[in-house]
Amino acid sequence: MFTGIITDIGRVLSVEQRGDLRARIATAYDVEGIEIGASIACSGICLTVVALGRTPQNWFDVDISAETVRKTALGREGWTPGKRLNLERALKVGDELGGHIVSGHVDGVAEITEIATEGDSTRVRFRAPQDLARFIAPKGSVALNGTSLTVNEVEGAEFTVNLIPHTQQVTTWGEIAVGQPINLEIDTLARYVARMQDWDKGL
């Protein structure tokens, strides 16, 4: 379980196909405080740590299944050495819930359709997969590349969010481009509300 508050920007060091995909990711996290089997959200994808090291910098390895590749932005853009990733470690009991409850299970891939400057902030428009659009509501929460963000406006399958300068500085959101695929996780509460409405309609 995560909150969508990014605490480090990792960097892909290597990617190797071993049946599943194995990626090595450099991090500023103290690896002595990470256990094998721990969960780390990597640009919104909950992945399990399978190895750790400190030479010449802190790093951890994760295995990525073919199913995960197919259902996330990784399948469209790939991970290559040097790629930067939003990282968040799993919640501990007593941690502050600064964003919203995020599972790290990506529901689909959104696409950036427009980027515009508004004052010091940046407004970004996304196109969501049609089957997920009904779960996105104005002033609701979404996790995009692992970042908890508030939806501004919704028009059909498209929606917008505003990125303040701080968010762009401490995440990979300062490096985005139109056409870029983005990992999208729907707010769990929105999913249950929509399901309850289906029940009321007898669906």
pLDDT score for 188: 77
Q: Which fold has domain 8-89?
A: Elongation Factor Tu (Ef-tu); domain 3 (2.40.30)
pLDDT at 25 over 80: yes
* Residue 59 to residues 17, 33, 62, 112, Cα–Cα distance (Å): 18, 12, 10, 30
**Distance between CA atoms of 27 and 29, rounded to whole angstroms?**
5
Of the candidates 4, 96, 92, 67, the one whose C-alpha atom is nearest the C-alpha of residue 41 is 4
Task: State percent of the chain over pLDDT 70.
Answer: 91
Cβ-based neighbours of 172, under 8 Å, separated by 6 or more: 9, 43, 84, 85, 86, 145
Task: State percent of the chain over pLDDT 90.
Answer: 83
Average pLDDT of the segment spanning 82-106: 86
**Distance between CA atoms of 6 and 25, rounded to whole angstroms?**
15
**Distance between CA atoms of 96 and 7, rounded to whole angstroms?**
13
Classify 190 in phi/psi space as left (phi over 0), alpha (psi -120 to 50) or beta: alpha
Q: Do domains 8-89 and 108-200 have the same CATH topology?
A: yes
Which segments within the chain are labelled E, that is strand? Answer: 8-18, 20-26, 39-42, 45-53, 59-64, 84-89, 108-118, 121-127, 141-144, 147-155, 158-163, 181-186
Residue 121 — φ and ψ, nearest 5°? -100, 175
pLDDT score for 13: 97
pLDDT tens digit sequence for 45-68:
999 999 999 988 999 999 999 999
CATH of 108-200, one of 2.40.30.20, 3.40.120.10, 3.30.70.1070, 3.40.50.300: 2.40.30.20
What is the DSSP annotation of 118-147?
Answer: ETTEEEEEEE--TTTGGG--TT-EEEETTE
The verdict on pTM exceeding 0.85 is yes
Partnered with residue 46 across adjacent β-strands are: 41
- Provide the 3-class DSSP secondary structure of residue 75: helix
pLDDT tens digit sequence for 107-162:
999 999 999 999 999 999 999 999 999 899 999 999 999 999 999 999 999 999 99
Partnered with residue 42 across adjacent β-strands are: 45, 87
For the chain, domain boundaries: 8-89, 108-200
